[in-house]
């Protein structure tokens, strides 16, 4: 976007009457104009009530420390009411999943899956990730424009997910498809044009995984996610809707997030060549760069809670039943906590301090796996001296939840 | 000034002076001791400053807080002598404290 348009957007962000400011509009995420709107809220109304939106009334929490306060206070701010996104879901069409549960049920289910992404298991996955990254990078076309999102970001994360599930490798693109459908809000004129259509596709997902479940429940426990869920006392008697819900959680959480950090990293390095030079000059900065990429991208823009009781946040009174949106994407640009928050700086002090994974008991269970994939990717890019040039504007996803890219046109020099 | 002995998972030792009032996590981060991440900067909001406190010292570090207990219950390798280092505030009585880091933080 040119500087005249940016100027215009900034004027608009500050001209709208505060009580009419609705930061949930997906179009702004798609054209990447969200920033001055959140900046204004952080400055003028950090805990902001919007009384009318596509999603009904809701509170926006925009500053880092306030977001952390909500995220860690699960007794007041529940994950179990309706949905963990801004979209309302009814009891009938919701798929229960542990991200959208409170203790004690949340705790039992999370503990079932967390071993697969715990440090000792990750060490075992390092080798297979590195060989996959190598194969993908070595297979990239040279001197030819292609879509990094499809050839690398989606391919890598989907392969990873297929491994975690021990999902038939040749069918792995179904995981991408189901993940995309799961995060689609139905709209007339697109493939997913109704909640019924969406539900029908998700039923196919459930049927496929149920087949795998039935195969594995009768064999010795193995270290894939399906076998783990099929054998663990906390999850082996899950109702089908709950099984589907947890599958969706793992597919989206493990797929549509890391994918966008991978794409974002390439975009940010291209937009900040001094940072790329710094990284090439000192590959020991890769882990730090990985955290900065995840902060700067913020793959999930928000998470939602519902107040269970009347409470106060900032100087605002939140009523029991109110919908509260933690805008991670805003918190990660809070310069009261993060110095030069709007700049992409791969060797900043404390790069690991960001909100992209959330905090508290729901903190992203796969966070180390995400970091590992991105780290290995950049190690292999650097060791090959690959020069990945972005040759066109990125296309972003129209969503106020998934913050990501559908296309990133790049060219790799021979 | 009181000292903390940090033991990495591979056995490497770091003896760090920690002034009274500073958390064990903060001392590790500020002194570049590997194996403690402190992603939430000491707010008891993650579990990435997980340490094993030498049994001889455990009681003297005090009791786990409610939030600490909750977060530790999700840590992959939590033991009865596990604590979050951000919740252990250094005192002169803890001079010589020994903590061991897990294989990885999560």
Provide the shortest C-alpha distance from residue B93 to chain A (in Å). Answer: 30
- Residues counted in chain B: 106
Closest CA to B6 of B57, B68, B44, B53: B53
Q: Determine phi and psi for B10, rounding to 5 degrees.
A: -85, 5
What's the pLDDT tens digit per position in B19-74?
Answer: 999 999 999 999 999 999 999 999 999 999 999 999 999 999 999 999 999 999 99
Name beta bridge partners: B51: B83
Provide the shortest C-alpha distance from residue B75 to chain A (in Å). Answer: 8
ipTM: 0.95
Hey, is the C-beta of B44 within 8 angstroms of any chain A C-beta?
yes
Coil vs helix vs strand at A237: coil
**pTM listed for this prediction:** 0.95
Q: Which of B28, B45, B73, B105 to mutate to test the interface with A (most CBs of A within 10 A)?
A: B45
Mark yes or no for CB contact B39/A111 under 8 Å: no
Stretch A354-382: mean pLDDT, rounded?
97
Mark yes or no for CB contact A352/B46 under 8 Å: no
A291: nearest CA in chain B? Answer: B39
Contacting residues of A for B39, CB less than 8 Å apart: 352-353, 357
Contacting residues of A for B40, CB less than 8 Å apart: 68, 353, 359
pLDDT reported for residue A115: 84
Supply the mean pLDDT for chain A.
94
| DSSP state, residue A170 | G
pLDDT reported for residue A323: 98
For residue A89, what pLDDT band results from cuts at 50, 70 and 90?
confident
Decide if B94 contacts B25 (C-beta within 8 A): no
Mark yes or no for CB contact B74/A111 under 8 Å: yes
Please tell me the CATH superfamily of domain B3-100, with its number: Beta-grasp domain (3.10.20.30)
pLDDT reported for residue A121: 84
What's the pLDDT tens digit per position in A224-245?
Answer: 889 988 888 888 888 888 888 8
B36: nearest CA in chain A? Answer: A352
Provide the shortest C-alpha distance from residue A109 to chain B (in Å). Answer: 11
| DSSP state, residue B99 | E
**Which of B37, B38, B70 lies nearest to residue A361, judging by beta carbons?**
B70
Packing angle, helices A367-383 and A273-281, rounded to 10: 80
pLDDT reported for residue A284: 98
CA B76 to chain centre: 16
Mark yes or no for CB contact A72/B104 under 8 Å: no
Supply the mean pLDDT for chain B.
96
B35: nearest CA in chain A? Answer: A119
DSSP sequence for A360-408: GGGS-TTHHHHHHHHHHHHHHHHHTT--EEE-SPPEEP--SSB--EEE-
What's the pLDDT tens digit per position in A66-87?
Answer: 999 999 999 999 999 988 999 9
Comparing A173-182, A336-345, A380-389, the range with the smallest average pLDDT is A173-182
pLDDT reported for residue A224: 87
Domains of chain A: 3-412 (1.10.630.10)
**Which of A119, A122, A361 lies nearest to residue B74, judging by beta carbons?**
A361
């Amino acid at each position: 976007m040119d500087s005249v348009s940016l100027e215009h957007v900034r004027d608009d962000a500050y001209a709208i009457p505060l009580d009419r400011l609705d930061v949930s509009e997906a179009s702004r995420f798609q054209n990447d104009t969200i920033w001055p709107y959140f900046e204004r809220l952080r400055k003028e109304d950090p805990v902001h009530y919007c009384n009318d939106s596509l999603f009904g009334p809701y509170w926006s929490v925009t500053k880092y420390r306030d977001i952390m306060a909500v995220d860690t206070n699960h007794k007041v701010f529940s994950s179990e009411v309706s949905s963990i996104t801004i979209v309302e879901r009814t009891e009938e069409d919701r798929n229960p999943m542990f991200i959208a549960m409170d203790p004690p049920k949340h705790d039992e289910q999370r503990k079932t899956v967390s071993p697969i992404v715990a440090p000792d298991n990750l060490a075992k996955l390092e080798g297979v990730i590195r060989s996959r990254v190598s194969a993908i990078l070595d297979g990239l076309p040279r001197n030819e424009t292609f879509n990094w999102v499809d050839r690398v970001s989606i391919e890598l994360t989907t392969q990873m997910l297929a491994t975690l599930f021990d999902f038939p490798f040749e069918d792995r693109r179904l995981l991408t498809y189901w993940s995309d459908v799961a995060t689609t809000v139905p709209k007339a004129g697109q493939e997913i044009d109704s909640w019924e259509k969406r539900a029908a596709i998700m039923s196919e997902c459930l049927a496929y995984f149920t087949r795998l479940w039935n195969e594995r429940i009768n064999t010795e426990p193995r270290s894939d996610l399906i076998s783990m869920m099929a054998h663990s006392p906390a999850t082996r008697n899950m109702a089908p809707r709950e099984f589907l819900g947890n599958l969706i959680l793992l597919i989206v959480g493990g797929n549509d997030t890391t994918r966008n950090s991978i794409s974002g990293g390439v975009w940010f390095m291209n937009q900040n060549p001094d940072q790329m030079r710094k990284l090439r000059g000192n590959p020991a900065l890769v882990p730090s760069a990985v955290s900065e990429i995840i902060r700067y991208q913020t793959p999930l823009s928000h998470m939602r809670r519902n107040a269970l009781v009347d409470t106060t946040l900032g100087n605002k009174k939140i009523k029991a039943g109110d919908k509260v949106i933690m805008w991670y994407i805003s918190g990660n640009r809070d310069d009261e906590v993060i110095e030069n928050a709007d700049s992409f700086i791969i060797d900043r002090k404390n790069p690991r301090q960001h909100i992209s994974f959330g905090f508290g008991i729901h903190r992203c269970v796969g966070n180390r796996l995400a970091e590992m994939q991105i780290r290995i990717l950049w190690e292999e890019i650097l060791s090959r001296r690959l020069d990945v040039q972005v040759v066109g504007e990125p296309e972003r996803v129209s969503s106020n939840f998934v913050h990501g890219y559908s296309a990133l046109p790049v060219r790799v020099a021979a | 000034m009181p000292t903390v002995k940090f033991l990495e998972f591979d056995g490497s030792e770091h003896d760090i002076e920690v002034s009274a009032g500073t958390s064990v996590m903060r001392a590790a981060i500020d002194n570049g001791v590997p194996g403690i991440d402190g992603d939430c900067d000491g707010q008891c909001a993650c579990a990435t400053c997980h340490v094993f406190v030498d049994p001889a010292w455990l009681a003297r570090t005090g009791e786990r807080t409610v939030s600490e207990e909750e977060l530790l219950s999700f840590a992959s390798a939590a033991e009865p002598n596990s604590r979050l280092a951000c919740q252990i505030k250094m005192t002169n009585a803890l001079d010589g404290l020994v903590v061991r880091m897990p294989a990885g933080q999560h």
